[in-house]
A = this chain, B = another copy of it.
Amino acid sequence: MHGLLRARLIRGEMRPGAMVSLRTLAGEFGTSAMPVREAAGRLVSEGALEFVRNRGIRVPRMTRERLLDLTALRVFAETELVKRAAFLLPDEALQAARRADAAVNAAIAAGDAGAYMRANHAFHFGLYAAAASPVFFRLAESVWTQTGPVMSVVHASLSRLDYSDHHPRILEALARQDPAGAAEATRADIESGLDLIARAGFLTAPAGAAIDFAAA
């Protein structure tokens, strides 16, 4: 239950600013409002949702400052995760990551933002799971939950040509058990994502103001 709501955010299936009542969500999940309340509460406490009193829950709008902070966190957490995964990654996980990367490319070629979000998540977290660090894994999950909604909007508004693909570099570094190389490629991958947002003009909002994704 809790995982379902989190997955919706990570996959970008809820837009920034979207508001929904607990009862509506409960109806979609086929349960009562209480489990939804609890799941939403957890996501509120990590900043991925916010309660609006007597209205429901809302996906927070993104500000430039928050996005930069979250990106810095992503770099820290995820470079650490791939560094550790370099020596622990089973062959089957590496091959699963190759398949996930192929799915990513297919989604880009098809211009399917939703499929891209899902495949990209599977690619990264399949690797991170091998790092055997609950602390950093949970942190990465938390950050993705917060950035999912905005990334979804960004990808949906972009041409398929804008992507510079760092995934092969990550895979090659992991295959030769090179932690530093994998970390560097991961950093490049994350920052190219931020660069994508910047080039799309989403970072021109005044300080503290919510980014206007409707302009996309």
Contact = CB atoms under 8 A, between A and B. Distances in A.
A182 B165 CA distance: 38
A178 to B, nearest CB: 21
A58 interface: no
A123 interface: no
Interface stretch (A10-18, A101-109, A130-138, A186-194): A130-138
A38 interface: yes
B73 A135 contact: yes
Given A38-B41, A45-B42, A45-B46, A134 B66 contact: yes
Counted per complex, copies of this chain come to 2
A137 to B, nearest CB: 10
A112 interface: no
A135 B66 contact: yes
B47 A134 contact: yes
Interface in A1-31: 2
Contacts of A45: 2, 42, 45-46
Nearest to A42: B45
A139 interface: yes
Interface in A22-60: 37-38, 41-42, 45-47
Given A2-B41, A66-B134, A72-B80, 18 more contacts: A2-B45, A38-B38, A41-B41, A41-B42, A42-B42, A42-B45, A45-B45, A45-B46, A46-B138, A46-B142, A65-B133, A66-B135, A69-B133, A69-B136, A70-B135, A73-B136, A73-B139, A76-B76
Interface of A: 2, 37-38, 41-42, 45-47, 65-66, 69-70, 72-73, 76, 80, 133-136, 138-139, 142
Give the 7 A-B CB pairs with smallest separation, nearest first. A69-B135, A42-B45, A42-B42, A38-B41, A76-B76, A38-B38, A69-B133
